[in-house]
Amino acid sequence: MKFKHSIQKRVFAIFGGFTLVVALGYSLASIIVAYIIEDEVLNRLVALEVTRIQSAYKKTGQLPHTSAAYFTVYKQIQMAPSDIAAAASNNTVGEVFSASGRHYHIRKLHLSPNSQNTYNAILVADVTELLAVRNLPLNVIVFLGLLIVLAISIALLAALIITRRTTKPIVALANRVGGLEVNSQLAWQTNAAQKTQAEDEVDYLSQTIQNALQQLREAIERESQFNRDVSHELRTPLTEILNTLALAQQQSLSANSVQHITHAANNIKHIVTTLLALARAETTQQEVFALQPLVEECVVGLYTKIEANNFTVECNLTDLAVVGNRQLVGLVINNLIENAINHASKPALAITISNSEIHFDNTFSTPLPTDVTLPNSRQPQSQGIGQGLYLVERILDVLGWQYRICVQNNTYRLTVIPLTAKAA
């Protein structure tokens, strides 16, 4: 992914600029220090000569010869060249740069007043030839220049390496977010795999963003699925209601018509309840709960309808701890019981919990559809508990549970295989 202002380039510009400033500053400081050291060496050299001359004069009363040709002693300040004499008159210590390019160090000589010859003398040192820094050979200057360039290059390379390592997690984060495809759905590319543990803060941020976008993707998927389900599942009962009401305009509603409307309305209620539960994000939250009390609650909750239809629900339940969403599991049980009440050949349903499974058994008298789990799959007389199993299948898929259907000797058995607490 390309950016108008890459953070890696900006960080390198900052590090590189800082490196250049430090390197150039250090080079300049080194040159200044070299000049200072050179000047200090010359000052000490002149100071030693002053001390030697003053000590010899104190002993002999005569001005001794200088120790080197670049030293000159003037007995009177006025005897020195004018520029040197002017500097000596104003200061006891000074430096003079002559118009000819010569460099002089000047010191006044404090000769003993007890001697019979007293002079207002000065020592002048022509240090022009001793200026090592100013008189460096060309090859040495080139070498030092190349050394500075090499040092700056190494510093810039180090800045580049540091920049890449420092911004690597941020670039990785940008690449992960950049790997998100936005089409009809949101989906992560394969290089954005979820990690179990974050390596650092940026990686944790990356995983957090990934999780948030994954939840967003799931929410959009649930909304899309909800819209498809609503448009598909509600079409049939709404059509039944509208057709019955259309006939009611020509003749009064019969008991059978009222029963059809009531059945269709209840069907819409169950479908909407189930679809809304599937569409809510909290339905994916898992917990451990006992299955037996939930089955009993569902049966008791439907007691009025069971009694009104002279239906019999036989329960043979044992304790079983399962992992899932209690609301969704209740919807599955309610749907299966109501399907049996509405469509079973005989008014009886057996619910059994055994071997960590829950079985729903009822009889049928006519052939069942090829796949009763398809949307809107049913026979004209809707025999068996197959109508509505498409939504049941979707709920079980959300729960991570399994199911199987067995048809034998006019007995229809739907077995739900929950995720048990031990298995989890």
Largest Cα–Cα separation, the chain: 155
Q: Are 419 and 322 in contact (CB under 8 A)?
A: yes
Tokens of 168: 């690597």
Q: What is the pLDDT of residues 270-316, one digit of tens each?
A: 677 777 777 765 556 788 999 999 999 999 988 888 888 899 999 99
Helix extents (H) in 282-376: 291-301, 303-308, 326-343
Is residue 299 within 8 Å of 264, Cβ to Cβ? no
Model pLDDT for residues 37-53, shown as the tens digit of each residue: 988 899 999 999 999 98
The CATH topology of domain 284-424 is Heat Shock Protein 90 (3.30.565)
Q: How far apart are CA 241 and CA 257, in angstroms?
A: 9
Residues 375, 379: Cα–Cα separation, whole Å: 13
Mean pLDDT of 64-89: 84
In this predicted model, what pLDDT tens digit does every residue of 155-188 receive, in sequence order? 888 888 888 887 777 777 767 666 554 443 444 4
Of 225 and 424, the one with more pLDDT:
225
Is 212 within 8 Å of 183 (Cβ atoms)? no
* Domain-wise residue ranges, the chain: 7-139, 284-424
Per-residue tokens: 419: 């995720």
Q: What is the pLDDT of residue 113?
A: 60
Residue 320 confidence (pLDDT): 92
Strand partners, 107: 93, 123
- Are 79 and 104 spatial neighbours (Cβ–Cβ below 8 Å)? no
* Average pLDDT of every residue of the chain: 78
312-316 and 348-354 as β-strands: parallel, antiparallel, unpaired? parallel
Q: How far apart are CA 56 and CA 51, in angstroms?
A: 9
* Angle at which helices 255-279 and 201-233 cross, to 10°: 170
What pLDDT is attached to residue 377?
46
The percentage of the chain sitting over the pLDDT mark of 90, rounded to a whole number, equals 14
